[in-house]
Amino acid sequence: MAILRLEDGTIYTDLDDLDRELAPLNVQLNRWPIGDNPEIHALLAKDALSDEQKEQVLQALDKYFEQLKISAGYQSRDLVVLHPEVPNLDTLLSKFDRCHYHADDEVRYIVAGEGVFGFVRPDGSQVEVTVQPEEYINVPANTEHWFYLTPSRRIKAVRYFTTTEGWVPEYTDSDIKFRTAAVV
């Protein structure tokens, strides 16, 4: 279940509360079941996956991709797999742990592990949402945000694209007003 934190330390886990707090940003957060396929669960339990294994996971979850292709024109998807043994993990993550936005929606379906999306709301306040397995998040284009991993430093996420060019981060000068105790 997603966890939303406000700057004052208030924590919400109820979907209605999360929807209310994220409404000014038009961020969509949904629960998408992975299913009960034991092969897919075994793959998701591993740290590293081969390209063939990633494709196996993607194909097992493609019902969601097919829906997004029809409803929003998505063209491609991939599976990002991050864990502590990934070479240059800190360098890779440093691209996203500063305030930035993208020209296109940033859409992720977390299938294992967890990550934190932080947002600057229109009134200047900030919130952070820990997104966990079986949760889908759509960060609309031009929404100022940041991302980092929780202390486990593990995540598997399906990323959906209309184009890949729109995901280049455009950095802002906004300071992040708070951070949880997570390792970045």
- The model's pLDDT over 69-108, given as tens digits with 9 standing for 90+, comes to 999 999 999 999 999 999 999 999 998 999 999 999 999 9
DSSP 174: P
183 inside domain? no
180 inside domain? no
Domains: count for the chain? 1
CA gap 161, 109 in Å, rounded: 12
What is the side-by-side order of every strand in the sheet holding 76-82? 28-31, 135-139, 106-113, 155-161, 76-82
176 inside domain? no
CA gap 170, 68 in Å, rounded: 25
143 inside domain? yes
Which CATH number is 153's domain given?
A: 2.60.120.10
Provide the pLDDT confidence category of residue 179 given band limits of 50, 70 and 90.
low
pLDDT at 139 > cutoff 80: yes
Question: Which backbone phi and psi does 45 adopt, to 5 degrees?
Answer: -80, -15
pTM attached to this predicted model:
0.92
87 inside domain? yes
55 known member of a binding site: no
83 known member of a binding site: no
pLDDT digits (tens, 9 = 90+) for 104-124: 999 999 999 999 999 999 999
pLDDT digits (tens, 9 = 90+) for 148-160: 999 999 999 999 9
Q: What pLDDT, on the 0 to 100 scale, is given for residue 4?
A: 97
- Say if strands 11-12 and 115-120 run parallel, antiparallel, or are unpaired: unpaired
79 inside domain? yes
Domain, as residue range, for 135: 3-171
Q: Which of 111, 41, 39 is CA-nearest to residue 82?
A: 111
pLDDT digits (tens, 9 = 90+) for 22-40: 999 999 999 999 999 999 9
